[in-house]
Amino acid sequence: MIIIDGSYGEGGGQVLRTSLSLAAITGEAIRIENIRAGRPKPGLAAQHLTSVRAAAAICQAQVRGDKLGSTMLEFIPSSPTLAGQYSFDVSAAREGGSAGTVTLVLQTILLPLALAKGDSEVTLRGGTHVAHSPTLSYIEQVYLPAIALMGIAARVKLIAWGWYPQGGGQAHLRVSGDSTLCGITLLERGSLRLVQGLAVVTELPAHIPNRMALRADNILRENQLRANIKPLRERGVAPGAGIFLLAEYKNSLAGFSALGRVGLPAEKVAEIACEELLNFHEKVAPVDVHLADQILLPAALASSSSQYRVAQISNHLTTNAWVIHQFGLAEIEIDQTNQIVTVTPASAKTRENST
């Protein structure tokens, strides 16, 4: 049994998700201690508990410690990952419901399902656009295209928007199995082609997305960036607002989001997302801070080495590298000076040594 210290590095859910993915993929039994010790409310929250149960379902794992607030988890897979049709509801993990994000559940099970024999369909219910986690828009427009370059074919469709604190969102994920992963090289991003954006609200007046879109468009044009921001008013179970900006470069994609809340003007929401985009644009790296740690796991499982330049070396990135190292799957070098990540999978290193 591999023992994982959940308090390592950023001390959040990253350790849990990567450990669960790798346990399902490798069949290794794991024990995670001090789960989310670095958070104000340590232990498993609704989205983490749902991730545990989702990972257990796809590899028929025996689990101990799978309850809300638990800071210890034992996870013992009893079969290879099984492709199929699944449904997971974050709101069902806690009495009274939850807006816990579905995207973290998605990222926990996506790679195991991509490597399984056969295709899978997964319905996810809960929060789709929630603070402090990748939005479903980011998953769809940045993460999935990036891992598609590495050999993973997956599509996600937003069925219903789900915001904090009500949740109530729904997404449908299709994953093609029997994937063969290859490495990726992303050192230069090339010129910016266009910034596309979506300013959206549910159950709120139409002037709010219009104001978000107009403010974002003005800011980007003032900085000589071509932009196409579309306002959209959708129906939902509760009020919510947000903006998502996609920067399309010659060699890469980067995404930036901001979510509305009571008392925050629509214009300010747009300004927050634009500021993040402009800060990224000033740098030369093709990989944004969020994607940097998200593609680390498929890179470690690939048949060839990867190398990519990141805009920022975050605690999420270094923590993810540490967790992968616990499973002995790859050598990961993070060049702090040049901000380049080099991933050499164990299988690729074996071939290099034999030649």
What gap in Å lies between CA 232 and CA 344, rounded to an integer?
A: 43
CB 290 within 8 A of CB 277: no
DSSP 8-state code for residue 92: G
HSE at residue 110, side-chain half, CA atoms within 13 A, is: 28
What gap in Å lies between CA 207 and CA 297, rounded to an integer?
A: 42
User: If we measure between CA atoms, which residue out of 254, 227, 232 comes closest to residue 243?
Assistant: 232
User: If we measure between CA atoms, which residue out of 123, 106, 127, 137 comes closest to residue 171?
Assistant: 123
Catalytic position from the list 48, 129, 281, 316: 316
Encoded tokens for 335: 């060049």
- Determine if the peptide bond prior to 145 is cis (ω within 30°): no
Which residue ranges make up the annotated binding site?
Answer: 107, 290-294
Phi-psi region of 132 (alpha: psi -120 to 50; beta: other; left: phi over 0): left
Neighbours of 201 (CB within 10 A): 26
Contacts with 215 (C-beta within 8 Å, 6 or more apart), sequence order: 266, 267, 270, 271, 274
Edge-to-edge strand list for the sheet holding 192-202: 227-234, 192-202, 240-249, 253-259
Output the CA torsion 57→61→62→67 (10° steps).
Answer: -50
What gap in Å lies between CA 85 and CA 58, rounded to an integer?
A: 10
- The yes-or-no answer on residue 48 being catalytic is no
Burial (CB count within 10 angstroms: exposed 0-12, middle 13-18, buried 19+), residue 74: middle
Which residue ranges make up the annotated binding site for ATP?
Answer: 107, 290-294
Active site residues: 316
